[in-house]
Structure 1
Amino acid sequence: MRVDVADIEAEEGAVNAASRMQTTAGRLARLGFADGARAERLLDELGPEAVGDLDLLADLIAAADPDLALTSLNRLVERDPSVLGTFRTDPGLRHRMIAVFGLSAALGDHAVRHPEQLHLPEERLSAREELLYAVGADAELPEPVAGLPVPAAMDALRAVYRGHLLQLAGRDVTGEITFAETAAELAELAGSALEAGLAIARAEVPDSGDVRLAVIGMGKCGARELNYISDVDVIFVAEPKDDVDETRALQIATRLAQALMRACSSTTPEGSLWEVDANLRPEGKLGPLIRTLDSHLAYYRRWAKTWEFQALLKARPVAGDLELGGAYVEAVNAMVWQAAARDNFVEDVQAMRRRVEAHVRVNEAERQIKLGPGGLRDIEFAVQLLQLVHGRSDPLLHRRATLSALAALSRGGYVGRDDAKALAEAYTFLRQVEHLIQLHRLRRTHVVPSDVADLRRIGRGLGMATDPVGQFTTTWKRHALEVRRLHEKLFYRPLLQAAARLPSEETRLSTTAAHARLEALGYADPSGALRHISALTSGVSRRAAIQRTLLPVMLGWFADAPDPDAGLLGFRQISDKLGATPWYLRLLRDETAVAEQLARLLGTSRYITGLLLHAPDAVAMLGSASDLAVRPVEALLAETATAVARHGSDAETAVAGVRALRRRELFRTACADLAGYIDIEAVGQSLSALNDVTIQGALDAATNKIAVERRGEFPTRIAVIAMGRLGGFESSYSSDADVMFVHSPLPGAEEKDATDAAHAVAEELRRLLSLPAPDPPLGIDAGLRPEGRQGPLVRTLSSYRAYYDRWSSHWEAQALLRARFCAGDLALGLEFVDLIDPIRYPADGISAEAVLQIRKLKARMEAERLPRGADPALHTKLGRGGLSDVEWVAQLLQLRHAGRVPALRTTTTLNTLRAAVEADLLDPGDETTLADAWRFASRVRDAIMLVRGRAADSIPGLVKERALISRTLGYPPDGSEDFIDDYRRATRRARLVVERVFYED
């Protein structure tokens, strides 16, 4: 193919032109534009002067998002070509505006709509004056809008406000003013807008001059630390003027406040400012919008909660009648600084924390810079709580803004200088990030975006030119972790210095301040707590050094537990036993989860603390959930057999080993229970199996001893039959072991000799398990045997058969429903079960007369067995709808139907109810109601034992004990009344089912 020279030259020219174009676009891309070709086109549209303006190009390249900045500039110049000339003569203005355009699409849009706002007069009015003049009001003495329609005034308010926001953002993002100055100016700008909104409101509301109305800024507005876009929290206070009737004045003031809120919050062609939120007022949304000063004070004196006083830390008059507003703030301040001395202060604080955490969406928690872990609220909450605690005696802490309050806390020695500096840096960083996120679209958000382009804009906005995404993410996470760490240390480190007088560069807390801090955290005995802290941390030993590292965090975990004082005391006691053991402190120091779980367990359960004091090595189990898994019965039996065999005929030593194993496994089960790893049915199964193993070990030890004493072959086989809750695999932490003993003489043995030997073993077993020991006792109760306590302790299988054939009563048949083999000779145990099956599961069921007798017996028990003074609605065992009620329903179903329904032949209550549903003997809804009440009562009964360390069947009447039990059951600190209501409701419903199913045919 022939190629013409002219064609080659034309092609070369096209290639060179394309290369030049690509070079320009590529250069712009390398300079920071995401789309170099588009950037080149937009620059060309600005004209040749702009293309050659290297200073303009430098400002664009320096913007957080050069493409966004160029887009807004291009639109602005299209609207007002004179802007480029203004920028050339005022490079400072150009620098500020392009920096804003590179961060905020919303303010760029505003500049395009109002280019005249870029041309600022040299002698400019204040924001307050300009906003008031814009809406047609007198800046010296704001009067109703004169001659300007309300819609036009509202548009003017928004336009001028955004203009001031644009100029303020320009000084902010270029570093001309600090973050604190920016936040303060934003708050003042909001206050001015509220004043202008009030002027608009006065034009709408007749007779507005008859009332004095003060607008109290709350939250960040009151503290002069406002965001770019945020709800503005306010409280309204009003007083009538002259002789105006108070009721009429409050009506006028209410209309004024409502009109003010509309003036600022409603949307017009110019958009809206922000929501005016008055929900921090007394009674919140349910309370009147307007109150007089006396009405406010009466409410705060009688009804206000701690969180309301915490909110009032920020109160400041911002608009309206500033004299009235000042009187309000002065009056409430006297109450604010006494809030920490109020009853239930700690519970209120904990409730505040829960409300804060509840606002965080799970899928946003890690990106929330306000409410997420290590976020702004962690800092603000800590600072405000310390202010409330120590501000009672130190007026220097009476500051509204977070940073100034933090500085005062540091100067007063309540927070270390380095800690205060680190928190201030983190707070400033997080607030700057918050501003950058909100500036983009002027939307109220606290969630860090996940889009890379957004992250890049934020990073560059913070001055991170190299790898802005990575650098920003790393810095943010570092600050969040530091905030979380300091949040814990901030509360607790000074306590160590006050108690142990540790050398430190930080100022130490006085004893009075330490007491106040501990009381605020929930320690009922701060003097005792300080003694424990001192004992643990004093000295120069390695142990004391590690404790000084551990305790700042653990004190917080104790404070979060139901009983902080008991937790700290238990920790001291266990540390005294194990403190010199190398692995113990190393485990707590290196395994945070272990230390936290230990603190919560010790602060929740005296039962667990008691177990640990005598088996402190069990702390090692807290390393993981798998370590708390219930062990198989086979493994426990093997370990028990080894312990017994090791000691031969030394029964007491052998059983001491068996009881040590039981103590360890009780700890394992209790920890798994409180951690929520197992439910109440699994707890009952675990405890019952552990009791079986313990009885087997004691039986083996007793048999070995009696065999040695008899100096011959043991003459009989023995089996232990579990009864009651043990037989039903429903043992609680406080349950005795209801049992019966059966034996069968070996061939050739005399029955009397065999019976004497079996009786000796049974008595020895009971003696061994009742010996004083450092573990919870396992009482052996044989009262359900034939003839009760008047009958022989041990019978042969044939004796049981003869008794049941001749004398068995209905209540004995009912008791046998729980009978199962639990220890000793398995074959004999199964023979016994075969013997009693026809008695407890009669083929044709029990007669109508027998049913009537059982119902009468149940009614008599209800009338006679409930302890004197016990509340029938709160007794978990014998109370209405409690354990006994549900169990009797299940047992009557078995006696009547188990002969023909094999699935009912179970010793377990809940399995019986399930089987009854399957056999169409019980309505599924009734089964659910009964089972729920049984589980609830069982959980409460166990919780009482875990919390108090001693058994009780009634829910205690003391408020503190109820609170501890409800916390253990998963209710919040202020949820004890909810707990009681829930229990009453569950058992009341169960009782209705009992009365219908048990007492009616």
Structure 2
Amino acid sequence: MTSAGTYVRKGFVDGAAAARGIEQLGDAGLPLTDELAASADPDAALDGLLRLVDALDEQAEGAGREMLAEVADDEGTAMRLCSVLGASTALAHHLARHPEQWRELTDPTLGSTRPAAYALREALLTAVGADPHADEPVAGLPDKEAVDALRVEYRRHLLRLASRDLAHHVGLDDAAAEISDLAGATLDGALAVARARVGEPAHAVRLAIIAMGKCGGHELNYISDVDVVFVHEPVDGADEGTALRAATQLASHLMRICSDHTREGTIWPVDANLRPEGSQGPLVRTLASHEGYYDKWAKTWEFQALLKARAVAGDVDLGRRYCEMVAPMVWSAAGRDGFVSDVQAMRRRVVDHIPAHEAERQIKLGSGGLRDVEFAVQLLQLVHGRSDPSLREGATLSALARLSEGGYVGRVDAEKLHEAYTFLRTLEHRIQLHQLRRTHVLPEDEASLRRLGRSIGIFSEPAAQLDRQWRHHRREVRRLHEKLFYRPLLGAVAKLPGTEARLSLEAAEARLSALGYADPRAALRHLEALTSGVSRTSDIQRTLLPVLLEWFADSPDPDAGLFGFRRISESLGRSPWYLTMLRDEGQVAQRLAVVLGTSRYATDLLEREPQGVKMLGESLVPLSAEAALAEMQSLLERAETPEAAVVAVRAVRRRELLRIACGDLVAGTDVAVVGQGLSRLTDATLQATLDIATESVRRQRGLDAPASRIAVIAMGRYGGFELSYGSDADVMFVHEPVDGVEAQAASSYATAVVAEVRRLLSLPASDPPLEVDADLRPEGKNGPMVRTVESYAAYYAKWSHVWEFQALLRADAVAGDPDLRARFTELIDPLRFPAKGIPESAVVEVRRIKARVDDERLPRGADRHTHLKLGRGGLADVEWTVQLLQMRHAGRVEGLRTPQTLPALQAAADADLISSEDAETLAEAWRLVSRVRNAVTLVRGRPSDQLPRDSRERAAVARVLGYPQGASDQMVNDYLRTTRRAHAVVERVFWE
């Protein structure tokens, strides 16, 4: 007896059990050992063979031994039988139930001959007792017998196919096509059983079954849903209602016949959800009804699904007419508005529905999986198949070959993608074949990986080698996905090496248009400018652009992204670090694409400060005021004039504005942090500019020292640390004469300094202006630009109105003389936070002013529901509500003594002045509206207080807010719902 160790060396896992099993095979044991050992799972193959022997012996004494002798004497049969038993426990179980079918594997033509589709149809129809040559075959067996017979016959053919696939390596295309033909024959068999069930009414209707998806594309898996569409037509003279009922019954019975579980198991589910209106639509429609739906209502993804439509069962003529009807619609789908975004959205929906625990091992749906290849090929087919009929193939690999032959995909890339796709599909087949279960997840246990590896010919370290090969092919699919779409575009305008694809200019324009570029010709000009020549720069651009074009295409404005990239590249192209950084640091390149394709504001800053590209590889957290001021002040010493000094200050500000904007766009910086960052940057800018102006005026006047100390008081959103990108800097100026200087001279000096600050900041420069607005000062535009603390005290004591005390709620002394800032704060605190709160008359006045603002300040034509500042539930609603709570209660609630909205709101909730639910509702609205306001400025490049009406701008705003592509309606609905809830709180808290 051969030792257990010998069997382990041959490939068995349990050597002792293998030795016992081989001995049970008797004289056939030794001849069959090598064939068993060569199977995917030798232990399972041996166990299945022993069960088959027992099953045959149960049918007839000695039949098992006769089978063993015959198989041992026929190498081909032995190879086919052992390979099936070792790879599929489901088919081993089927053979144990129907042991006579082992003889199917003795057929010597299995290795060379694929059965014709018509032969399969005849076999399945005959199995249920139907005449395969009749116009409308009807099952002749009793119903239950027919249903079981259909299953047994289906598995018989599947057994033959699996043996061809495993033992003779017939190839993925042939195997998938044969499974698809078998599915079509099975549908015809099920339809014959359904006709028998429906009876006489079935003769009133013609029914065609259209295969979709993998079955339609002749690339079905071993076990998969079979996607179909049913189309019917009344026979001549039949009542339409009767025909509809009969067609619906036929379709319903057919679906149950295929999917019901019986003593012979099940076949597969028939899925009709790709029909018009999906699961909510009628199960069957006439040809005219289908045409009307596709003409008027169908979405892009439905035409993508129809790309593989093929008549496979039922009425042949009706099915052919259906396919001829939909074909022109399919091949014109790429011209529809939103074509690419619809296709991309469909792919995202697929990815989003992958369970988290499966995502990394999903062969079909995961990143770098089969669906990536299929979507890429289908998108290229739909784009270029309009003008090139040779691309109108249903099968993925056939279509890929045609794309390569036509120059739409590079030959080498097509070969590598073919190799990766074939590997992944073969792996998927082997996984499903094991238990005939619908799964696309690569198992993790060692035993399963070992079986899978051996099933595809990996016998040395099969589990480890399989894992390495799978990961390699996933990476290849990810890499080639971008090249399929984008690198051939460069071939239309640049000299690419060797075998790269060569698109015509017309084909390149068609592809760019389908990918979302509004001006394809301009895009091609940009590509030509970036890639022309033989320099190292051009070489790197040709490497970068396929990736960048994909990222631009996924952005709200691909044209702006590409144009911005060209301009920045022309500015920095000769800088040695620029392209190298983009090539070697993927995060920088991707961030740059997002910025350029989304934000005019940030793009403008980058064009003025192209060195800012370096920042995309750094931290995007806003600088503190101290750090920004220190850098600004370090530059002042080298400036020869005030104008040169302020240019240096504004350059730092421009760079930091870019940092904040980029953080908002690509890192999702919190809106409160953005407001604080912009406010601190303004603090530093004002302080540095005040230092410059102070020194300038002192020199102009020939003074040895400043004549007055000056402080800057931030007001409004600036005082609340809540600046947005488009906000002015609302300020007041306060001064105090130094000892020995007359009041008038000090006032003149302070006024001159303030004027110089405003002049310097208003000088033309390559950065967004900083508008210093002092209109909130006492007496507004008519009052003096700068006052002493005593002058402010006198004014507030005698002349001020309640709205001015309300404005002081957000006053914050931010720049200038520290002592003077502290004294001004001491002055205004009792005024804005009165110990006993404001009287009821003042509350009425605040409400009256708010009513006037709501009524008079809203711009003509503005939508009150979507106006960000003055709309219902907008910024004004929330901020006035919080400020009224502060004016009434800050005297006794210390937490309310803050210029910032959100901390004051939280303090009000903590003091039970407002419920925590209402406070959360107001805070949510304030944050959302502030984010939208910032996003609008980032997208448009200029501030606006209205939610955009333009669809592209609205989509871009949604993307800045973190919504997925195509979710701008969801963004608007969220905005309206949030502000509506906030407005309801304002109605209760502010007005009541």
Category of TM-score, reference length = shorter chain: over 0.9
The answer to whether residue 106 in structure 2 is matched with residue 114 in structure 1 is no
Write the distance in 2 (CA, Å) between the matches of 1:430 and 1:316: 24
2:970 is aligned, of 970, 973, 978, to 978
Write the distance in 1 (CA, Å) between the matches of 2:28 and 2:586: 60
Bigger mean CA deviation after superposition, 113-122 or 464-473: 113-122
Write the distance in 1 (CA, Å) between the matches of 2:341 and 2:461: 46
1:960 maps to amino acid: R
Q: Classify the secondary structure of the residue corresponding to 1:415.
A: coil
Write the distance in 1 (CA, Å) between the matches of 2:193 and 2:668: 61
Write the distance in 1 (CA, Å) between the matches of 2:666 and 2:499: 40
1:312, 1:336 within 8 Å by CA — same for their partners in 2?
A: yes
1:132, 1:142 within 8 Å by CA — same for their partners in 2?
A: no
1:720, 1:742 within 8 Å by CA — same for their partners in 2?
A: yes
Q: CA deviation at 1:90?
A: 3.3
Write the distance in 1 (CA, Å) between the matches of 2:141 and 2:340: 53
Write the distance in 1 (CA, Å) between the matches of 2:749 and 2:316: 96
Aligned counterpart, 2:676:
685
Aligned counterpart, 1:200:
193
1:695, 1:823 within 8 Å by CA — same for their partners in 2?
A: yes
**1:763-784 Cα distance to aligned partner (Å, 9 max, x none):** 1001111111111111000000
Q: Classify the secondary structure of the residue corresponding to 1:906.
A: coil
1:230 is aligned, of 224, 240, 243, to 224
2:286 maps to amino acid: T
Write the distance in 2 (CA, Å) between the matches of 1:130 and 1:312: 29
Bigger mean CA deviation after superposition, 342-351 or 821-830: 342-351
The answer to whether residue 300 in structure 2 is matched with residue 324 in structure 1 is no
Q: CA deviation at 1:644?
A: 2.2
Q: CA deviation at 1:359?
A: 2.4
Write the distance in 2 (CA, Å) between the matches of 1:501 and 1:800: 72
Aligned counterpart, 1:359:
353
User: Counterparts of 1:467-866 in structure 2 under 5 Å?
Assistant: 467-624=461-618, 627-647=619-639, 650-712=641-703, 713-866=705-858
Write the distance in 2 (CA, Å) between the matches of 1:974 and 1:844: 53
Aligned counterpart, 1:34:
13
Aligned counterpart, 2:330:
336
Q: CA deviation at 1:924?
A: 1.1
Q: CA deviation at 1:630?
A: 2.0
User: Counterparts of 1:391-540 in structure 2 under 5 Å?
Assistant: 391-540=385-534
The answer to whether residue 69 in structure 2 is matched with residue 93 in structure 1 is no
**1:733-754 Cα distance to aligned partner (Å, 9 max, x none):** 0000000000111111111111
Q: CA deviation at 1:126?
A: 3.0
Q: CA deviation at 1:349?
A: 1.5
1:29 maps to amino acid: V
1:940 is aligned, of 932, 947, 950, to 932
Aligned counterpart, 2:60:
none
Identity of aligned residues (%): 60
1:420 maps to amino acid: A
Aligned counterpart, 2:344:
350
**1:952-988 Cα distance to aligned partner (Å, 9 max, x none):** 1111222222222222222233222222222122111
Write the distance in 1 (CA, Å) between the matches of 2:72 and 2:965: 64
**1:279-333 Cα distance to aligned partner (Å, 9 max, x none):** 0000000000000000001100111111111111111111100110011001100
Q: Classify the secondary structure of the residue corresponding to 2:747.
A: helix
Q: CA deviation at 1:480?
A: 1.1
2:392, 2:399 within 8 Å by CA — same for their partners in 1?
A: yes
1:144, 1:203 within 8 Å by CA — same for their partners in 2?
A: no
Write the distance in 2 (CA, Å) between the matches of 1:92 and 1:721: 94
2:589 maps to amino acid: A
Q: CA deviation at 1:570?
A: 0.6
2:22, 2:33 within 8 Å by CA — same for their partners in 1?
A: no
Q: Classify the secondary structure of the residue corresponding to 2:638.
A: helix
Q: Classify the secondary structure of the residue corresponding to 2:8.
A: helix
1:142, 1:199 within 8 Å by CA — same for their partners in 2?
A: no
- What is the total number of aligned residue pairs between the two structures? 973
Change (3 A) 1:333 1:776: same
**1:92-135 Cα distance to aligned partner (Å, 9 max, x none):** 12211101111111111111111111224979993322221111
Write the distance in 2 (CA, Å) between the matches of 1:447 and 1:310: 25
2:154 maps to amino acid: Y
**1:381-421 Cα distance to aligned partner (Å, 9 max, x none):** 01000000000000001110001111111111101111111
Write the distance in 2 (CA, Å) between the matches of 1:277 and 1:317: 15
Normalized against structure 2, the TM-score is what?
Answer: 0.97
1:74 is aligned, of 44, 47, 50, to 50
Write the distance in 1 (CA, Å) between the matches of 2:546 and 2:630: 43
1:144, 1:201 within 8 Å by CA — same for their partners in 2?
A: no
The answer to whether residue 933 in structure 2 is matched with residue 954 in structure 1 is no
1:270 maps to amino acid: E
Q: Classify the secondary structure of the residue corresponding to 2:637.
A: helix
Write the distance in 1 (CA, Å) between the matches of 2:355 and 2:902: 38
Q: CA deviation at 1:470?
A: 2.1
Q: Classify the secondary structure of the residue corresponding to 2:232.
A: strand
Write the distance in 1 (CA, Å) between the matches of 2:902 and 2:357: 38
Write the distance in 1 (CA, Å) between the matches of 2:507 and 2:356: 37
Q: Classify the secondary structure of the residue corresponding to 2:823.
A: helix
**1:486-519 Cα distance to aligned partner (Å, 9 max, x none):** 1100101111111224454234111110011001
The answer to whether residue 17 in structure 2 is matched with residue 24 in structure 1 is no
Aligned counterpart, 1:18:
none
Q: Classify the secondary structure of the residue corresponding to 1:740.
A: strand
Write the distance in 2 (CA, Å) between the matches of 1:718 and 1:903: 29
Write the distance in 2 (CA, Å) between the matches of 1:990 and 1:295: 47
2:776 maps to amino acid: L
The answer to whether residue 248 in structure 2 is matched with residue 254 in structure 1 is yes
1:696, 1:824 within 8 Å by CA — same for their partners in 2?
A: yes
CA RMSD of aligned residues (A): 1.4
Aligned counterpart, 1:11:
none
The answer to whether residue 147 in structure 2 is matched with residue 154 in structure 1 is yes
Write the distance in 2 (CA, Å) between the matches of 1:604 and 1:146: 62
Write the distance in 1 (CA, Å) between the matches of 2:710 and 2:139: 105
Aligned counterpart, 2:22:
43
User: Counterparts of 1:900-919 in structure 2 under 5 Å?
Assistant: 900-919=892-911
Write the distance in 2 (CA, Å) between the matches of 1:364 and 1:653: 60
Q: Classify the secondary structure of the residue corresponding to 1:126.
A: helix
Q: Classify the secondary structure of the residue corresponding to 1:646.
A: coil
Bigger mean CA deviation after superposition, 143-152 or 217-226: 143-152
Q: Classify the secondary structure of the residue corresponding to 1:136.
A: coil
Q: Where in structure 1 are there 5+ consecutive unaligned residues? A: 1-20
Aligned counterpart, 2:215:
221
Write the distance in 1 (CA, Å) between the matches of 2:135 and 2:144: 18
Q: Classify the secondary structure of the residue corresponding to 1:582.
A: coil
Write the distance in 2 (CA, Å) between the matches of 1:510 and 1:641: 57
Q: Classify the secondary structure of the residue corresponding to 2:919.
A: helix
Write the distance in 2 (CA, Å) between the matches of 1:86 and 1:258: 46
**1:690-732 Cα distance to aligned partner (Å, 9 max, x none):** 1111111111111111111122211111110000000000000
Q: Where in structure 2 are there 5+ consecutive unaligned residues? A: 57-63, 110-114
Write the distance in 1 (CA, Å) between the matches of 2:803 and 2:258: 77
1:76, 1:83 within 8 Å by CA — same for their partners in 2?
A: no
